[in-house]
Amino acid sequence: MKQSIIDQFAHIVGEKYVKQSTSELLAYSYDATANFQRMPELVVSPADTAQISAIVKLCIQEKIAIIPRGSGSNLAAGTVPYNGGVVLLFNRMNRILDFDQDNLTITVQPGMITANICDYVEQHGLFYPPDPSSMKISTIGGNVSENSGGLRGLKYGVTKDYVRGLEAVLPNGEVITTGGKLAKDVAGYDLTSLLVGAEGTLGIITSITLKLIPLPRFKKTSIAYFSSLEHAAETVQEIIANKIIPVTLEFLDKKTIVAVEQFMHIGLSTDVEAMLLFEQDGDEVTVDKDIMTMTTIAKEKGATYTKIAEDEAQALQLKTARRVALSALSKLRPTLILEDATVPRSQLAEMVRRINIVADKYNVNIATFGHAGDGNLHPTCLTDVRDEQEMAQVEKALAEIFDGALQLGGTITGEHGVGEMKAPYLEWKLGEAGIAAMRAIKDALDPHHIMNPGKIFAKDTKKRVVVQFG
Ligand SMILES: Cc1cc2nc3c(=O)[nH]c(=O)nc-3n(C[C@H](O)[C@H](O)[C@H](O)COP(=O)(O)OP(=O)(O)OC[C@H]3O[C@@H](n4cnc5c(N)ncnc54)[C@H](O)[C@@H]3O)c2cc1C
């Protein structure tokens, strides 16, 4: 990038908020996704919306790509530069702008860490439910842009269910506000929903108004172990069939349980095939009743052992077991590829079966855990990117897992987004007409294609081979 252009960025944000040396840029050449890395040309940290608007106008003029980046914890190569460009950070935009206990909303800047929002509102008896496992490191701007889910999604929904309004800088540099503190607002197209999950391709989110709800007064956590994956999956289906909607209904397979136990030493049983983690919240009577019913169902479906946490410390330990699953697995092989194939929850047992068939067929090491109640599984390939032969097998296996999920009425990604990684598969889910409709929106809002290029839309689509799973 020419020094004269770098000087203009420095003029907008201040010299000390521009990074340009190779060693500084290196940290922004990758994110949490395995096997994707490309250097940006510049990294800038704006202080406010006006500076972001000025940056966008400069980028249009000089035809420079903008890559908005929260914490870079996404798993779809969403923040890896595609062809140079400027990485835009929100580390100077991480404050609470407004906390409104009458309207039950909080308005925050995009760089705020999600767990800090949860902690803040809980001190006031309020609750922001979306809790991605990465909530202690990920930003709310990243969560909104990926429409992230979490462990509490089954009962409380995902990020989009709590976004009331946004302020955003469009790819033409104009600032818009959508929605607000209102519970109801149907004035025109729903631009809030359009920007949620747009992965930084339609604009830059500069402020977010979130809906809050009262903090539930009681909660209880329990676990159940199973000697077969199918019994665990059947338990999930039976719980829902009994019209119980727990806060959390999470699944860990044997490989994941063993990895977590080796990582944390918390006394998990490692001679089992699967573990379910349940949590319910609400009033004391309902919580007790639901936890007892879920435990009984688990036993009826073949659970070999069940345990209800005796206190909050024990509950936290059991939940941490699930939250650290990814970190624990990452210790086992040099590379970890985490997928999030998602199916209607009635197809959970079948999807688990298909993942195992594919793992055996290609001889790849796959551990599976995930948000069982949402049908959202995380088949996780433990591999090594330096081994080309193994990676070729991994790619074939993942393609068949996506195909298997789509055959069951599912999707290629339930919460991690498309980014660059899943872009070649998007047409499998949307069809040509679906892609064309999305491209029309992109072209209309971002005619210069400066906003996070190379994401969502792929140059080449992977050929889909429909697999017979028998
Ligand atoms: C250990 C681990 C556990 C995880 N657990 C979960 C989970 O349970 N559920 C889940 O859904 N995901 C999970 N993730 C994935 C990831 O944490 C989420 O996608 C998260 O929302 C990303 O937030 P971030 O701040 O890191 O965003 P980034 O990774 O920096 O960015 C994500 C996307 O948002 C865009 N973006 C960021 N900020 C803005 C902005 N202000 N305006 C416009 N676009 C913007 C970026 O361009 C990019 O496309 C996990 C990841 C890890 C590493």
Cα(74) to centroid(ligand 1), Å: 4
| Residue 326 CA, closest ligand 1 atom number | 1
How many CA atoms, within 13 angstroms, populate the side-chain half-sphere of residue 429? 22
Pocket flag, ligand 1, residue 70 (CB < 6 Å) = yes
Rounded average pLDDT over 160-180: 98
Pocket flag, ligand 1, residue 68 (CB < 6 Å) = yes
pLDDT number for residue 198? 98
Euclidean distance between CA atoms 149 and 201, whole angstroms: 20
Closest C-alpha to 180, from 202, 194, 163, 193: 163
Residue 206: pLDDT band with limits 50, 70, 90: very high
pLDDT tens, 404-461? 999 999 999 999 999 999 999 999 999 999 999 999 999 999 999 999 999 999 989 9
pLDDT number for residue 319? 87
Pocket flag, ligand 1, residue 134 (CB < 6 Å) = yes
pLDDT number for residue 143? 98
Residue 33: pLDDT band with limits 50, 70, 90: very high
Pocket flag, ligand 1, residue 250 (CB < 6 Å) = no
pLDDT number for residue 93? 98
Contacts of 23 (CB under 8 A, 6+ apart): none
pLDDT number for residue 344? 92
pLDDT number for residue 95? 98
Residue 45: pLDDT band with limits 50, 70, 90: very high
pLDDT tens, 52-69? 999 999 999 999 999 999
Closest C-alpha to 180, from 105, 71, 253: 105
| Residue 168 CA, closest ligand 1 atom number | 42
Residue 318: pLDDT band with limits 50, 70, 90: confident
Distance (Å) of CA 107 to CA 181, 274, 360, 376: 9, 40, 48, 29
CATH topology of domain 333-416: Alpha-Beta Plaits (3.30.70)
pLDDT number for residue 274? 94
Cα(415) to centroid(ligand 1), Å: 10
| Residue 205 CA, closest ligand 1 atom number | 42
Q: What percent of the chain has pLDDT over 70?
A: 100
Domain boundaries, the chain: 218-328, 333-416
Residue 355 in contact with residue 362, Cβ under 8 Å? no
Q: Say whether domain 218-328 belongs to CATH 3.30.930.10.
A: no
Pocket flag, ligand 1, residue 142 (CB < 6 Å) = yes
Q: What percent of the chain has pLDDT over 90?
A: 91
Closest C-alpha to 295, from 272, 283, 279, 273: 279
Pocket flag, ligand 1, residue 109 (CB < 6 Å) = no
Residue 281: pLDDT band with limits 50, 70, 90: very high
Res. 320: pLDDT tops 90: no
Euclidean distance between CA atoms 426 and 292, whole angstroms: 42
Pocket flag, ligand 1, residue 342 (CB < 6 Å) = no
Pocket flag, ligand 1, residue 114 (CB < 6 Å) = no
Residue 349: pLDDT band with limits 50, 70, 90: confident
Res. 229: pLDDT tops 90: no
pTM of the entire predicted model? 0.96
Cα(160) to centroid(ligand 1), Å: 14
Cα(150) to centroid(ligand 1), Å: 12
Backbone angles phi, psi at 190, to 5 degrees: -85, 85
Res. 322: pLDDT tops 90: no
Residue 345 in contact with residue 240, Cβ under 8 Å? yes
Residue 39: both structure tokens together? 């250097």
pLDDT tens, 119-151? 999 999 999 999 999 999 999 999 999 999 999
Bridge partners of 225?
Answer: 275, 305
- CB neighbourhood size of 432 (10 A): 9
pLDDT number for residue 440? 98
Element (H, E) at 23: helix 22-26
Euclidean distance between CA atoms 295 and 293, whole angstroms: 5
Pocket flag, ligand 1, residue 31 (CB < 6 Å) = yes
pLDDT number for residue 317? 87
Q: What angle do CA 119, 182, 89 make, to 5 degrees?
A: 50
Residue 74: both structure tokens together? 């996404």
Residue in this structure with the two tokens 């397979």, named with its chain if needed = 253
pLDDT number for residue 107? 98
Pocket flag, ligand 1, residue 72 (CB < 6 Å) = yes
